[in-house]
Amino acid sequence: MKRIKVLGSGCRNCEITAKVISQAAAEAGIEIELEKVTDIAEIMGYGVMSTPGVVVDGVVVHSGGVPGPELARAWVQG
């Protein structure tokens, strides 16, 4: 099971990012564990300076904007 974290303050773009990832997983029929991380110290620990950030299985794969559906599909399927 993929473990995916959305890093951010809980802003609109962070919420949209989480929704895009959840939808991509549902469409692919893949179960994921999705966590929203709002703790600034934890976000900085990943080296993310611009949110939303996305971490897949411990690796930062995106930061600084809402990812497109194709990118989210690649994360959940990859």
Active site positions, annotated? 11, 14
Cβ atoms of 51 and 5 closer than 8 Å: no
d(CA 12, CA 33): 21
Question: Nearest Cα to 32, choosing from 6, 62, 13, 60?
Answer: 6
